[in-house]
């Protein structure tokens, strides 16, 4: 009899023990996004990461009303890190294969401007509230034109700063706060 009660209590309390990923994100007020450090789409400029995935991650965090932490990792570690919970999502031109869908949850597909390529954001499986929130944020980004804007920005070649003449450099170095 005691065993039966124990089994029933365990069955009832198990769903409560599994915290929903969206609650964890909101509690720490931060979306942890794994990005591939060796990807050609993620570029580090002056100590800051830039590129389509970075812009998309920032837009998602803003829509979810949380901060964002980009974690550059080896490409081979992206999915393992998401599966283990070290990262909430991964952004790196990931396509939804049947194997991926068995292993992890995935967002609705999105494109980076090339309509032939559809990508998804993997996250820990069995997190329906997180999936709903992530997909709603992604849809708002698509609906307000931000996705198109991000793709256009990523497609533009980076503009190199123009060289300054000696006089321009000296003028820029002048201390404007001096009396």
User: For the segment 77-120, what is each residue's pLDDT rounded down to a tens digit?
Assistant: 999 999 999 999 999 989 999 999 999 999 999 987 776 789 99
Position 167 scores a pLDDT of 45
Report the distance separating Cα 27 and Cα 66, nearest Å.
Answer: 10
Question: Percentage of the chain with pLDDT > 90?
Answer: 58
pLDDT band at 164 (very low <50, low <70, confident <90, very high): very low
pLDDT value at position 51?
Answer: 82
Domain 17-153 top-level CATH class: alpha beta
Q: Domain residue spans in the chain?
A: 17-153
The CA angle 171-172-176, to the nearest 5 degrees, is 85
Report d(CA 39, CA 55) in Å as an integer.
15
pLDDT digits (tens, 9 = 90+) for 8-28: 454 454 444 457 999 999 999
Lowest mean pLDDT among 28-32, 57-61, 73-77, 101-105: 73-77
Structure confidence at residue 74 (pLDDT):
92
The arithmetic mean of pLDDT across residues 46-65, rounded, is 88
Q: What is the pLDDT of residue 155?
A: 76
Q: Which residues contact 88 (CB under 8 A, 6 or more apart)?
A: 21, 24, 25, 31, 32, 33, 82, 123, 124, 130
pTM: 0.74
């Amino acid at each position: 009899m005691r065993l039966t009660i124990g089994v029933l209590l365990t069955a009832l309390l198990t769903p409560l023990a599994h915290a929903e990923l969206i609650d964890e994100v909101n509690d720490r007020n931060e979306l942890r996004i794994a990005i591939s450090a060796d990807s050609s789409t993620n570029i580090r400029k002056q100590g800051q990461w830039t590129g389509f995935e970075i812009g998309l991650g920032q837009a998602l965090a803003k829509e979810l009303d949380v901060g964002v932490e980009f974690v550059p990792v080896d490409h081979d570690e992206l999915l393992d890190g998401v599966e283990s919970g070290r990262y909430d999502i991964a952004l790196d031109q990931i396509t939804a294969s049947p194997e991926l869908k068995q292993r992890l949850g995935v967002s609705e597909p999105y494109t980076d401007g090339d309509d032939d390529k559809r990508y998804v954001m993997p996250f820990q499986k069995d997190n329906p509230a997180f999936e709903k929130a992530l997909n709603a944020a992604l849809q708002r980004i698509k609906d307000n034109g931000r996705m198109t804007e991000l793709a256009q920005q990523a497609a533009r070649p980076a503009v190199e700063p123009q060289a300054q003449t000696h006089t321009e450099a000296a003028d820029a170095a002048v201390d404007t706060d001096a009396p």
